Amino acid sequence: MQKITTTFICLTLLIFSCGEATKTQKTNAEDTTSQPADSEWKSLFNGKDLTGWVVHGTEKWYVEDGILICESGPDEDYGYLKTEETFKDFELTVEFKQEANGNSGIFFRSSVEGTIISGWQVEVAPPNHDTGGVYESYGRGWLVTIPDEKENILKMGEWNQMRIRAVGDQVTTWLNDQEMVNFSDEKIGEAEGSIALQIHDGGGIRVNWRNIQIKSL
């Protein structure tokens, strides 16, 4: 009887141990899949303040409830928020929500002096104004606009995601996972500079930003 009881206890402990091991393996697998797929992504916005950024101009840039907000100031002029760090080849993702006019932009490989910027802007604008197209400020103007049939991809007043990839002279943009432009430009290929967010002149503009992530390539 004692031998049978001992055998039963051993079998029970073995089954319990196997079950715990399986559970642990499953938990570890779930933890692994919950991690970012690529650890090379870096956040440019900490959700608390403007650390790592430089304000250019008198327009308003501030953080509220984890959201980066830009608003027209009393001068109703152009304003920029530029990264201290510079980038050459990269992939960038950022979410934005437009309020009021919503005319803004995302500059790359740029430099700013006062409120004069050199570089290339991926347009963020009201509907039917080429959001996702690329514009060269104080230079050649529009390099690539978007097709009319893609104007409905922007969701005005809702959160949108812009993705920008610049490698050498090749530039591609996506809005809400839809490719907007894909082109090459020798002048862009020679440049390196900061990422910068813009607020357009004219007043009455408010744009929200979050989840600003970059990966150097």
Q: Does domain 42-216 correspond to CATH entry 3.40.50.720?
A: no
Q: Read off the pLDDT of residues 88-141 as tens digits, 9 standing for 90 and up.
A: 999 999 999 999 787 899 999 999 999 999 999 999 999 999 999 999 999 999
Q: Encode pLDDT of 29-79 as tens digits.
A: 333 323 345 569 999 999 999 999 999 999 999 999 999 999 999 899 999
On average, the pLDDT of the chain sits at: 86
What pLDDT is stored for residue 101 in this prediction?
81
- SS3 of 34, please? helix
Which pLDDT score, from 0 to 100, does residue 85 have? 97
pTM score:
0.81
> Which helix (H) or strand (E) is 189 found in, with range?
helix 186-189
Boundaries of every domain in the chain:
1-35, 42-216
- How many degrees, rounded to 5, is the angle at CA 211 between CA 105 and CA 100? 45
pLDDT of 5 higher than 90: no
